[in-house]
Amino acid sequence: MLLRISLIVAIIAALAAGTLSYLEVSDKIPALAKQRDDEKTAKVNEIAAHTKTKTELKKTQGELAQTKQELGDTKAERDKAVARAESQSKRADELNDKLTKVSSERDDAQNQLAQYKASDLTPDQVVKLNKTLKEARLEIEAVNGEKVVLVRTVARLTNELNKYIGPDQFVKLRADLRGKILNVDPKWDFVVLNVGEDQGVLQDGELLVSRSGKLVAKVVVRNVQKDRCIANLVPGWKIGEMTEGDDVSPAHPST
């Protein structure tokens, strides 16, 4: 009987201990579960942030490589423009020297002709001198024509060069440049002007559009032809509607 009572007491004690242990563990389970979930969330966030950082780093490396390539291309174009400008300037100096020489030869021929007219010359000698003088004049005209073309080429190359060494500089046009609008496209805001390369127009040059002395708009040249050009409206400079016959003049005239 005593033994049975002892067993019952022992069983009850064991059940009580188990119940206490279960209660203690059940109190800790939510905290442990929350800690586990927090750690898992932090790890997932860390992995996501790491992945995002790797992606952004890869993108930045790609943009850096592209920027280096574009910088290299820009430097190459700048070097080409510098070389062309130097070549054209050298050619201009050579033409100036040639023109000076030919002018000197023409003056000498004229002086000699005057001297021969004042002396007793044969008709053949006079004819020969006249021929020499005409040839000198033709050569001077040819050199002057080539010089005009060369000056335009140097101006165009200088304009291109400024795009690389001074992108914030304005393209300066001849101060006496004057023209008129031939056609207007109001839908696309571009105009056709009656002045072009022969009159000294340069690409990216800006022109003021006026009517009866009042400013109407400002346009920038996008395409230059021999005796005309095409220009687009400069954003924010549309004061009024442009029409055929409106006057244009340089916004940044050369001194």
Q: What is the pLDDT of residues 145-188, one digit of tens each?
A: 666 666 666 666 666 566 555 555 678 888 999 999 999 998 88
- Are 231 and 222 in contact by the 8 Å Cβ rule? The answer is yes
pTM: 0.41
pLDDT, tens digit, 9 for 90 and up, residues 86-124: 888 888 788 888 888 888 888 877 777 777 666 665 666
Verify that 32 and 156 share a domain, yes or no: yes
205 part of a folded domain:
yes
More confident residue, 69 or 1: 69
Verify that 39 and 90 share a domain, yes or no: yes
Verify that 55 and 157 share a domain, yes or no: yes
Containing domain of residue 16, as a range? 1-101+137-166
- Are 247 and 178 in contact by the 8 Å Cβ rule? The answer is yes
Q: How many domains does the chain have?
A: 2
Name the packing angle between helices 123-165 and 2-118 (round to 10°): 160
Verify that 36 and 96 share a domain, yes or no: yes
Paired sense of beta strands 190-193 and 214-224, if any: unpaired
- pLDDT band for position 60 (50/70/90)? confident
125 part of a folded domain:
no
Q: What are phi and psi of 182, to 5 degrees?
A: -90, -45
Among residues 210, 198, 201, 199, the alpha carbon closest in space to that of 231 is found at 201
- Kindly report the number of other CB atoms within 10 A of residue 29's CB atom: 9
